[in-house]
Structure 1
Amino acid sequence: MTEITPEALPAELHKAADTLTRLLSKMDESSVAEASELPGWTRGHVLAHLAGISNAMARQLEYARRGETVVLYDGGMDGRNKAIELAAGHSLARHTESVTTSVGDAVAAFDALASDDWQARIAYRDGTVFDGGLALWRELTIHASDLRLGFGPETWSRPFCEHLIGFLAARVPDSYKFVLQPTGLPQLSIGAGGTSIAITGMLTDIAAWLAGREPSLGSLRATAAADGVDLPELLPWPAGQSATR
């Protein structure tokens, strides 16, 4: 599995930001209030969240440059949720301006990093600036698919899927090992339990399933000891702010 590097990550962030810009241009006023892929959330909720997480991550970098840390969201998760609810009903023009500005500022902040800056500490997941960049990549890419505007998980790149699978290995229950068999690609294993389950299908479908999204290129197949079984239940998203909502 290829590991994304700090040197390669800014280009991936630009691609994700460009995708969002294209998707925003496909929307009209009525589509803001239409349902997204996330239960209980409209596209407006998703757009409000994208602006919020981008602003929050840019602030992580601002403090990291000073050798300080700050909580991801003012008011914690309650503050985050209230801000999303307040902004969800904004007009398309206001959402477009907010998302374009906040995402652009966040990506520019990562562009401006020197090589040594990537390992500076941030409060997000008690991690590094690099961890924050990876998180923004996940948020922008996954939530672009949640908008239901023709950019589903089937469009996710191989590097993104492989990163996401590694990150979401924490969702494998303790008793299981998943032997992932993506079509046409080498197999890989995640989890360290004693019961092996083989998951076969397209790489994008495997990544989507681990991320709690609907596979879109075909059905995944799970087998244990050569017998077909149901896809196993997954553990919650890794602790910290989640891209599931």
Structure 2
Amino acid sequence: MIDHAHDLACVHGATELLLHAVAQLDNASLAEPSRLPGWSRGHVLAHLARNADALVNVLEGRPMYASAEARDADIEDGAARPLDVQLADLRETADRFRATGDAPADWTRTVELRNGVTDEAARVPFRRWGEVELHHVDLGIGYDLEDIPAEFLERESDFLARRFSGHPDVPATRITDGTHTWTTGRPAAEPEVTVSGAPADLVGWLAGRRDGSALTTDGDGLPKLPPL
């Protein structure tokens, strides 16, 4: 069972860690490339702020974004802002998300995200936790997948495995960190391949942050995953 209150607390803790790290940067470093192709660190921070507002929209029953074009334009427009403006925006939007999450609500209701994707409202805080953790890594400022809490890595492996479950272009795959096991890909009586590795490496591969070279398989190689 999803504990949205626990996840909201985890979002807050991860956000505070992110804000502290970003506050050590300067304007010049925000213009430098992030680990995401085509995005500066400023792009990543602008996206994080706009995503917080977007998830407030989701929880309050509005469209997540006005349109895909508006989403992209808001990120582009916000990318070049100076550090103090970026920090203030991150703090204010995080506070709005937290206040929305703390308000009385039916957390079992179904909400709509982008591209017609639906989910239970109680899962939205975990989705935000993932945004904060993974994009903190994407900034390339000394926080890496190995620094992410073990609870998140385990749950994110499960979340991402579910995203690819039933996908016709992904072979039936067993994924294991040596303690936990997940299955994904095409339906099959038995997995076609088993992928094993450390939790951080598995999440890195599943989330498109690592090439999977640190993982091992019992087949001809790692399955090719579609973009998230």
Task: Give the TM-score normalised by structure 1.
Answer: 0.81
2:206 maps to amino acid: L
1-structure distance, mates of 2:76, 2:183: 39
Per the alignment, residue 7 of structure 2 pairs with: 9
Instruction: List alignment gaps of at least 5 residues for structure 1.
Output: 64-68, 238-245
Per the alignment, residue 117 of structure 1 pairs with: 106
SS in structure 2 of the partner of residue 108 of structure 1? helix
Aligned residue runs from structure 1 range 196-215, under 5 A: 196-214=192-210
Task: Judge conservation of contact 1:166–1:190 (CA < 8 Å) in 2.
Answer: no
1-structure distance, mates of 2:98, 2:52: 8
Instruction: List alignment gaps of at least 5 residues for structure 2.
Output: none
Q: 2:84 aligns with which of 93, 110, 117?
A: 93
- What is the RMSD of the two structures over their aligned residues, measured on CA atoms? 2.1
Per the alignment, residue 232 of structure 1 pairs with: 223
Task: Judge conservation of contact 1:28–1:92 (CA < 8 Å) in 2.
Answer: yes
1-structure distance, mates of 2:121, 2:36: 28
Task: Give the TM-score normalised by structure 2.
Answer: 0.87
Task: Judge conservation of contact 2:112–2:118 (CA < 8 Å) in 1.
Answer: yes
Are 1:171 and 2:164 counterparts? Answer: yes
- The 1:187/1:168 distance shift into structure 2, 3 A limit, reads closer
Q: 2:119 aligns with which of 79, 103, 127?
A: 127
Per the alignment, residue 40 of structure 2 pairs with: 42
Per the alignment, residue 144 of structure 1 pairs with: 136
| Cα deviation digits, residues 4-48 of structure 1 (max 9, x gap) | 422421221112211211221221121100111110000000000
Greater mean deviation of Cα atoms: 14-23 or 205-214 = 14-23
| Cα deviation digits, residues 153-202 of structure 1 (max 9, x gap) | 1112222122212221222543622222314x243433433542111210
| Cα deviation digits, residues 78-126 of structure 1 (max 9, x gap) | 000001111100111111111111112212321x143x52123333123
TM superposition shift of 1:215: 6.6
- The 1:187/1:120 distance shift into structure 2, 3 A limit, reads closer
Per the alignment, residue 21 of structure 2 pairs with: 23
2-structure distance, mates of 1:60, 1:186: 31
- The 1:58/1:43 distance shift into structure 2, 3 A limit, reads same
2-structure distance, mates of 1:201, 1:177: 17
| Cα deviation digits, residues 118-158 of structure 1 (max 9, x gap) | 12333312333223222211111111111111111111222
Runs of 4+ in structure 1 deviating by more than 6 angstroms, as ranges, are none
Aligned length: 220
